[in-house]
Chains A and B, each alone.
Chain A
Amino acid sequence: MKFRGKAWKFGDDIDTDAIIPGRYLVSTDPAFLAAHCMEDADPEFPDKVRAGDIIVAGKNFGCGSSREHAPVAIKGARVSCVIAHSFARIFYRNAFNMGLPILESPEAAAAIATGDDLEVDLDRGVIINHTRQATIQAQTVPPFMQQLLQAGGLMNYVRQQMAESA
């Protein structure tokens, strides 16, 4: 999987209330959730973000609540990929389960600025920053998580497993 888009930079410990505030959890509609994605961190983000753009953040992205509405909102905003110094545990699982590509890279999190033109090769874990003419090697996606992505998320994977054992 490859993506190219503009970077939107956020800080450390971006919690799931910042990604999608609790007051909007009255719906599971991706378009509704996307319209409020990251609005408490940057009120203009839902209007500014374009299809294919990439969120870049510091450590512990997605900490707090287990709400899957967070990756749903990010996917709904048509963000292609999230790169962070590190991810909170539940968000990390949820992203793979929902088929939202994510990459861990402390180096990328530090070096990338908002507006940078990024190209991401997810399979190889390579991030090319065209604006700064730099190439960064991120942690590659673990094999089991790759299986999940290839299956198209957890539910498809589970269905395949059940079919095989039947």
Chain B
Amino acid sequence: MWMKALGHAVKGNKMAMTISEKILAAHAGRSDLHPGELIEVPLDFALGNDITAPLAIEAFRKAGARKVFDRERVALIPDHFIPNKDIASAMQAKLVREFALEQQLVHYYEVGRMGIEHALLPEKGLVLPGDVVIGADSHTCTYGALGAFATGVGSTDLAAGMMTGRLWFKVPPSLKFVYRGQRRPWVGGKDLILYTIGRIGVDGARYCAMELVGEVIASLPMADRLAMSNMAIEAGAKVGIIPPDAITEEYVKGRACRPYRCYQSDADAHYEAVYEWDVSTFEPMVALPHSPENVRPVTELPRIPIQQVVIGSCTNGRFEDLEQAATLLRGRKVAPTVRCVIIPATQEIYRQALRAGLLEIFIEAEAAVSTPTCGPCLGGHMGILAAGERAVATTNRNFVCRMGHSESEVYLSNPAVAAASAITGYIVHPDEI
């Protein structure tokens, strides 16, 4: 009776569960569990970066901890202000490096080998379907694209996770997002997630598990899926999960560094809400300043001049993203009034782009190509905006001051819109090139 009251369907003795609930239940050693319950679960992987790890290391030491729970399951990735942008960031990076050496961490990646954490970990097969992953970085939810329960936490949670290999969670209620129809050209995962955030708002999925499904997702390439799950946090979600399928298997095959398990939601699992959209008429989307929920189709925008374009980040710095930008930049030049900064997200993507001739296309187009870094996305370095300047960026946040001066503006878009806008000097639909 109480189960019915909670709105859960019961199959025989087994409760119907969503993929998120199943992963948490399996880790907690439970046959079922309910949204709102507090549980403690073992972690498959934990991650920190050059900004968040220093606080975690401090808390770890203060607690008297000596060894991380598993040196193969803790990754420290210097990516935010790396290569060191100034003396202060060099000191932080040094602290992280020394801790990684002391703890003999297997997954510490130095400049020249490293990449943006949320591109690097899936690429290396370190985060896998069915995992519970925490990262001291809000975009840890990216790994939901692989069918993992992955969520961002603060540095103290990371410290506790590094120490014990466990962490407490409140089981989130799930929201289902069903994408139907056929994507038009130039409409990708970034556009679908921007549309979603535009519809439900920056707290529309607060504390919830977003589950992304439907025929559009079923045929969506992994790079686009990773971009979608990446921005689940921009709707306030705890995770942005995509049930694993053949595309997941294809991606994970040959990368996975350990066994994994694919979970699927039960057909009669309970969702707090179900959203269903036909994407067939969607145009590429742009989030206007200063909120990721301020979303408009690019076709509805007036002529907005820009001074900078950034193509990269944990959202859209993958090979497929660069390929899309190159399609537009091939044989063309960046507008004389625009600085176009292109940042492959990992060293491997950089190498691929080199071999595929993309870097040459970018350089011929007079774009600047950078080594992997989060850099400009969070106003670190490699493209900070002055007062009154506007940028189109394939990144994930356009808050006040995010990329520089409080009177600068960031417009979020997919890589094709960003590349097209770099050519014209104002925000345009790629078809207008």
Quick check: is A106 within 8 A (CB to CB) of the other chain? no
Q: A26 with B58: in contact, given A17-B400, A17-B401, A93-B153 (CB under 8 Å)?
A: no
Docked Cα-Cα span, A66 to B234, in Å, equals 12
Who on chain B is nearest to A88 by CB?
B236
Docked Cα-Cα span, A33 to B97, in Å, equals 23
Docked Cα-Cα span, A97 to B58, in Å, equals 14
Interface contact A89-B206, CB-CB below 8 Å: yes
What 1/0 flags go to A57-82 for Cβ under 8 Å of B? 00110011111110110000000000
Interface contact A90-B153, CB-CB below 8 Å: yes
Docked Cα-Cα span, A22 to B420, in Å, equals 28
Interface contact B156-A27, CB-CB below 8 Å: no
Interface contact B156-A154, CB-CB below 8 Å: yes
Who on chain A is nearest to B384 by CB?
A23
Interface contact B86-A13, CB-CB below 8 Å: no
Who on chain A is nearest to B168 by CB?
A144
Q: What residues on B are CB-neighbors of A71 within 8 Å?
A: 154
Quick check: is A2 within 8 A (CB to CB) of the other chain? no
Interface contact B206-A60, CB-CB below 8 Å: yes
Chain B interface size, under 10 / 10 to 19 / 20 to 34 / 35 or more = 35 or more
- Our pick among B63, B135, B156 for the contact of A94 (Cβ within 8 Å) is B156
Q: What residues on A are CB-neighbors of B81 within 8 Å?
A: 25-26
Q: With both chains docked as a complex, state the minimum distance between the C-beta of B316 and any C-beta of chain A, in angstroms.
A: 18
What 1/0 flags go to B187-219 for Cβ under 8 Å of A? 000000000000000110011000000000000
Interface contact A88-B160, CB-CB below 8 Å: no
Interface contact B236-A60, CB-CB below 8 Å: yes
Q: With both chains docked as a complex, state the minimum distance between the C-beta of B88 and any C-beta of chain A, in angstroms.
A: 4
Interface contact B206-A66, CB-CB below 8 Å: no
Interface contact B236-A89, CB-CB below 8 Å: yes
Among B129-143, those with CB < 8 Å from A are 135-138, 140
Who on chain B is nearest to A156 by CB?
B63
Quick check: is A162 within 8 A (CB to CB) of the other chain? yes
Among B155-172, those with CB < 8 Å from A are 155-157, 159-160, 163-164, 168
- Our pick among A27, A63, A154, A159 for the contact of B203 (Cβ within 8 Å) is A63
Quick check: is A108 within 8 A (CB to CB) of the other chain? no
Interface contact A22-B379, CB-CB below 8 Å: yes
Q: With both chains docked as a complex, state the minimum distance between the C-beta of B51 and any C-beta of chain A, in angstroms.
A: 5
Interface contact A68-B55, CB-CB below 8 Å: yes
Q: What residues on A are CB-neighbors of B38 within 8 Å?
A: 144
Q: With both chains docked as a complex, state the minimum distance between the C-beta of A99 and any C-beta of chain B, in angstroms.
A: 10
Interface contact A68-B52, CB-CB below 8 Å: yes
Interface contact B155-A68, CB-CB below 8 Å: yes
Among A1-35, those with CB < 8 Å from B are 13, 15, 17-18, 21-23, 25-28
Interface contact A67-B51, CB-CB below 8 Å: yes
Q: What residues on B are CB-neighbors of A111 within 8 Å?
A: none
Interface contact B399-A25, CB-CB below 8 Å: no
Among B53-74, those with CB < 8 Å from A are 54-55, 58-59, 62-64
Q: What residues on A are CB-neighbors of B402 within 8 Å?
A: 17, 22
Interface contact A93-B86, CB-CB below 8 Å: no
Docked Cα-Cα span, A3 to B51, in Å, equals 32
Interface contact B154-A40, CB-CB below 8 Å: no
Who on chain B is nearest to A17 by CB?
B399
Interface contact A28-B55, CB-CB below 8 Å: yes
Interface contact A93-B206, CB-CB below 8 Å: no
Interface contact B236-A68, CB-CB below 8 Å: no
Query: Which A residues have a C-beta under 8 Å from some C-beta of B?
Result: 13, 15, 17-18, 21-23, 25-28, 40-41, 59-60, 63-69, 71-72, 86, 88-90, 93-94, 97-98, 144, 153-156, 158-159, 162
Q: Can you list 26 residue pairs at the A/B interface with Cβ under 8 Å?
A: A17-B397, A17-B400, A17-B402, A23-B380, A25-B378, A26-B81, A28-B92, A40-B400, A59-B203, A63-B203, A63-B236, A65-B378, A66-B135, A66-B140, A67-B52, A72-B55, A89-B206, A93-B153, A94-B156, A94-B157, A153-B156, A154-B157, A155-B62, A155-B159, A158-B160, A159-B63
The 4 A-B pairs at the shortest CB distance, nearest first, are namely: A26-B88, A94-B154, A22-B378, A97-B156
Query: Which B residues have a C-beta under 8 Å from some C-beta of A?
Result: 38, 51-52, 54-55, 58-59, 62-64, 80-81, 86, 88-89, 92, 135-138, 140, 152-157, 159-160, 163-164, 168, 202-203, 206-207, 233, 236, 238, 291, 378-380, 397, 399-402, 406
| Known contacts A28-B92, A86-B206; 10 further A-B pairs (Cβ under 8 A) | A17-B378, A17-B379, A22-B379, A60-B206, A66-B153, A67-B154, A69-B51, A89-B236, A98-B156, A162-B164
